[in-house]
Structure 1
């Protein structure tokens, strides 16, 4: 049995090396800068101390972070493009986004600036959380309703709430058990079904 496990580990390492090589060649993922690679070396001895079970859980959770990263940023761009088109000459951010949402974005940007962080964006919508995107859609339902033709606002609210609940453990280094993984994937499907 030990030889089977050893062979599996060696094959997995070879496959991972090939995937990394192909990913780099095809520019599937962004390459690390020299500075980032150098800082990897600074923390490597510390990361080596981390328990194997935590490493396995981290690899598993990375899949869900990636799913939610894509979904949230896709919705962010969707909200922005719809409002840009609907209010092309008007500053929709200051007139069509709820005040508490605008304050949150400004507070987030100001806090990061005070800490000396480089700005993540010039676009205030990039300083919001997933739940805020739902608030913007709700407060502009007259614009978005036509894009969700078979959907009442209450249904949209429920889907956004389910997604936001699933986001918590992903964003805050929790772990999703299998039932929650299924719920997350169904909620993602539900989001896209809203516009069908």
Structure 2
């Protein structure tokens, strides 16, 4: 017959095993860059301490829009990665590709001003990479200005400009916390498909 001490020990061992398992899964999630759906203490803190202060309708809208923010975040980071890799591989000094490639002067000046504004504000700067300070529209201009390099990646310069322009328009409501209309959700999905089709 099992006594209370044995039950208590078994429960303690079970709890400890779960704690260790969750810790292992969190490490795996972080190391492999995959989402296993493990809620971190930071997520719990935000959920418990911050969300309750907002109305349920706003929280529901935020939840609906989060998938489109995630989608656009992945797309924009991918575009920046393609631009950065392509331009850095085109020069001898990959570290200084920003100054050694054909970036229009007005974009360089605007980027320099944005970096300085961020430094002057006293916040942690977002990046050491100038490309992270370009707008989505400027990324399109950089691609067009260096078409001799990007022409081997994309099928058509005009199509890239058209798709990037459409994505830039769709980005507005997402970046400025507005709801996307149903038609615009469809348009976003189709435009992202168009983007990847350009690289086929």
Structure 1 and Structure 2 fold alike (TM over 0.5): yes
What displacement does 1:24 show? 3.7
> So what's the TM-score if we normalise by structure 1?
0.76
Which ranges of structure 1 fall in alignment gaps of 5 or more residues? Answer: 1-20
Which ranges of structure 2 fall in alignment gaps of 5 or more residues? Answer: 1-21
How do 1:159-178 and structure 2 match up within 5 A?
159-178=163-182
What displacement does 1:183 show? 0.4
Does the alignment pair 1:142 with 2:159? no
> So what's the TM-score if we normalise by structure 2?
0.75
Aligned pairs, how many?
171
- Which string of whole-angstrom CA distances, capped at 9 and with x for unpartnered residues, describes residues 82-129 of structure 1? 011112337432241111111222111111111111122211111112
Report which of the two structures shows the higher radius of gyration computed on alpha carbons.
Answer: 2
* Structure 2 residue aligned with 1:13: none
* Structure 2 residue aligned with 1:68: 72
- Which string of whole-angstrom CA distances, capped at 9 and with x for unpartnered residues, describes residues 28-85 of structure 1? 3599998x679849x936x423221111110011100100100000110110100111
Between the aligned partners of 1:192 and 1:32, the Cα distance in structure 2 is 32
SS of residue in 2 equivalent to 1:96? coil
Contact 1:23 1:29 in 2 (8 A): no
How do 1:71-150 and structure 2 match up within 5 A?
71-89=75-93, 91-94=96-99, 95-148=101-154, 150=155
